[in-house]
Chain A
Amino acid sequence: MNFVNLFRIALKALGNNKTRGFLTMLGIIIGVAAVITMLAIGQGSKKSIQSEISEMGSNMIMVMPGGDRRGGVRSSGSDMESLKLKDYEDIRDNASYISYISPLVQSSGQAIYGAANTPTSIYGVNSDYLEIRRYKVSDGDFFSDQDIRTAAKVCVVGKTVLDELFPDDPNPVGKVFRFGSIPFRIIGILESKGYNSMGMDQDDLIIAPYTTIQKRVLAITHIQQIVCSALSEEYTDQAIAEIRQVLTANHKIKEGDEEDFNIRAQEEMSTMMTSVTDLLTILLAAVAGISLLVGGIGIMNIMFVSVTERTREIGLRMSIGAKGRDILAQFLIESILISVTGGLIGVVFGIAAAYLVQLLADYPIAIQAWTVILAFAVCTVTGVFFGWYPARKASNLDPIEALRYE
């Protein structure tokens, strides 16, 4: 018996019982649709978090003073003055896995322009900082090396600060405002980055030459942080090793001694966040998978009913020459047909539902080919798996008894 004939027989059997076939399918439709929607939501969260992290610079490395706190009571890291400009220069000159590097000193305070004022932070950095944090200057210019050498009182400003200080001025480049008591001239405006996934406003900042902040704002000679970019995310570990090498030498830290600095990579953060969203995805998929399983059991149940109900038909088919394997194939194809058709409909509904979630709840979704293929494959396997047992039962019937079945 060829496949086309078996297919036709199975199709006809389903056609004879449309309502039942559809209801059985419904389990699979819901299961597959749930799997696809849930995975789309899970993957969507993952992608949006990933893109935000890479927006922040997934290859970013931060070096901070302080070390392991387990040693006992210590002054807090930021109070320590262990990071020097020389550390920054040595890393800059010796590291080969680092593409951008900037010292960082930071101060919080009021920015004041006329009657307007707003609390914000000012960051003292060099021009690499833009690349490291993926900021762009949209209007005006960034400060020059000359400005750094002369500790010029110039700055570039984020949009949030501008909106507070110059609510009516479309182009405040060239204006002078005060940060605390120090006057700063605006020479550039940062392109807006909005909020990050942790809800921090990335436009609420002022960037100035680090020398200016060191000398005129904080009156310090050390630096608070070194931020840099590894060549790419994969080279983060090598870059960290290089930084550690320079710092242990500079700070004369002996083998086995505690380090007086702290290196943190953005990459760790991104791995952590993705592992959280991966877990979310798995949980969602598991719940959806269970509904697919229930759908599969529904198929098995109906196939059993169908086999029992059609015992006489099976007996007749056998008496006119159907082999056990023909009967097996017939019922197997029938259950696969149910699950595959249900699967296809489920795919359509799942994708539609995912887009609906995006549209109505404004939630990021990502439908990936592999999730659709997976859901569909699981569905076909479900059909075979749950169709097998009833089909096997049908194929093992004795033709005489089957014919006599009332």
Chain B
Amino acid sequence: MKEVIRLENIRRHFIVGEEVVKALRGVSFTIEEGEFVTIMGTSGSGKSTLLNTLGCLDTPTSGEYYLDGVSVRTMDRNQRATLRNRKIGFIFQNYNLLAKTTAIENVELPLLYNPRYNARQRREMAVSALQSVGLGDRLQHRSNQMSGGQMQRVAIARALVNNPAVILADEATGNLDSRTSFEILVLFQRLHAEGRTIIFVTHNPDIARYSSRNITLRDGRITADTRNGQILDAQEALAALPAQND
């Protein structure tokens, strides 16, 4: 299998006044293409910091990071921006859609920053991404006309549209009720089945049972890294949920 991510002894120290906060204290792992990795840990254990590093938003204080075989540590701001644009899809807890903007325009956004695509191609790619998350009939809906689950689907479509090497999600189901969470989880599992590489930060230990691998952080260190031999099917779990009564 092809290696997508390789971390070598990553440390991230923040200097707050006189104190040094060590958010990551030597994290090393590799992730191969097609893995669905959940990252768990208590609040403040360094999950978001790790994800920001993986997403090339943050540079580690020390350590090496290879994304798709390229060393990220020596890259400047602009190079990292381009790398994010081509290789990474972000999904946030609070969706981060553009206000008063249609689903299709939101999904097109990453492509706007890639000169390779013209307007027609952007549109086609955005439409197919939206269709793949089940929003083919909501193309022109604005972000303020959608439910949380729909907004998160748009955000997932946006993360997919540039066909990234890895999809990074930080608490992607954190703002959703359990039913909608499972719906989103079904979507993630389908993406996993399609061969996408996904890294999913979560507080919820249940979600780990639907991924292929689980990494646990504590105080900036990895305390557990287990492969899941028995991946549960979110579709079944969704069906087992009590029917909505409204």
Contacts and interface: CB of A to CB of B under 8 A. Distances in A.
The reply to whether chain A is a binding partner of chain B is yes
Interface of A: 1-2, 5, 9, 12, 16, 312-313, 315-326, 399-400, 403
Contacts of A315: 96
Contact of A318 (B58, B81, B112): B81
B1 to A, nearest CB: 27
A320 B98 CA distance: 13
Contacts of B98: 313, 316
Contacts, number: 57
Contact of A321 (B58, B85, B100): B85
Which one of A9, A326, A399 has the highest number of Cβ atoms from chain B below 10 Å of its Cβ? A399
Given A16-B99, A319-B90, A321-B82, A400 B109 contact: no
Contact of B57 (A319, A322, A325): A319
A5 B113 CA distance: 9
B81 A1 contact: no
B77 A321 contact: no
A318 B162 CA distance: 15
Interface of B: 52, 55, 57-58, 77-78, 81-82, 84-86, 90, 92, 96, 98-101, 109-110, 112-115, 158, 162
Contact of B81 (A313, A323, A400, A403): A323
A5 B112 CA distance: 7
Given A320-B84, A321-B82, A403-B96, 13 more contacts: A1-B112, A1-B115, A9-B112, A317-B113, A320-B158, A321-B81, A321-B85, A321-B86, A321-B162, A323-B77, A324-B78, A325-B78, A403-B92
Given A12-B101, A399-B57, A321 B96 contact: no
B82 to A, nearest CB: 7
Contacts of A9: 112
A312 B143 CA distance: 15
A307 to B, nearest CB: 15
Given A316-B98, A400-B57, A321 B92 contact: no
A322 B84 CA distance: 9
Contacts of A317: 109, 113
A220 to B, nearest CB: 92
A322 B98 CA distance: 14
A139 B147 CA distance: 92
Contact of A319 (B78, B82, B84, B115): B84
A323 B78 contact: yes
Nearest to B83: A321
A16 B162 CA distance: 26
Which one of B78, B81, B92 has the highest number of Cβ atoms from chain A below 10 Å of its Cβ? B81
Contacts of B92: 403
Contacts of B100: 16
